[in-house]
């Protein structure tokens, strides 16, 4: 059994969060088991990214 791929993403402002959200959506369509975590906002959170530090606190 192989470990699911994991990706850390950092989006430090609103437009980056929106672009990263679209990227994560497409990656998860291709890699459904992808584990994504990082720093971001509402768009990344909406795509299921585990937010370890909310961008609004920066």
Q: Determine the pLDDT at residue 10.
A: 98
Rounded to 5 degrees, what are φ and ψ at 19? -65, -45
Dist. CA 8–CA 42, nearest whole Å: 16
- Give the rounded percent of residues in the chain with a pLDDT score beyond 70: 98
Burial class (CB in 10 A: 0-12, 13-18, 19+), 15: exposed
Dist. CA 58–CA 35, nearest whole Å: 24
Q: Determine the pLDDT at residue 58.
A: 84
pLDDT tens digits for range 23-43: 999 999 999 999 999 999 999
Mean pLDDT of the residues in the chain: 95
Q: Determine the pLDDT at residue 3.
A: 86
For the chain, the C-alpha Rg in angstroms (whole number) is 11
For residue 15, pLDDT over 90 is answered with yes
């Amino acid at each position: 059994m192989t470990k699911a791929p994991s990706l850390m993403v950092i989006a430090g402002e609103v437009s980056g969060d929106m672009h990263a959200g679209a990227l994560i959506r497409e990656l998860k369509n291709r890699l459904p088991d992808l584990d994504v975590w990082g720093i971001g906002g509402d768009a990344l959170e909406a795509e299921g990214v585990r937010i370890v530090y909310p961008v609004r606190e920066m």
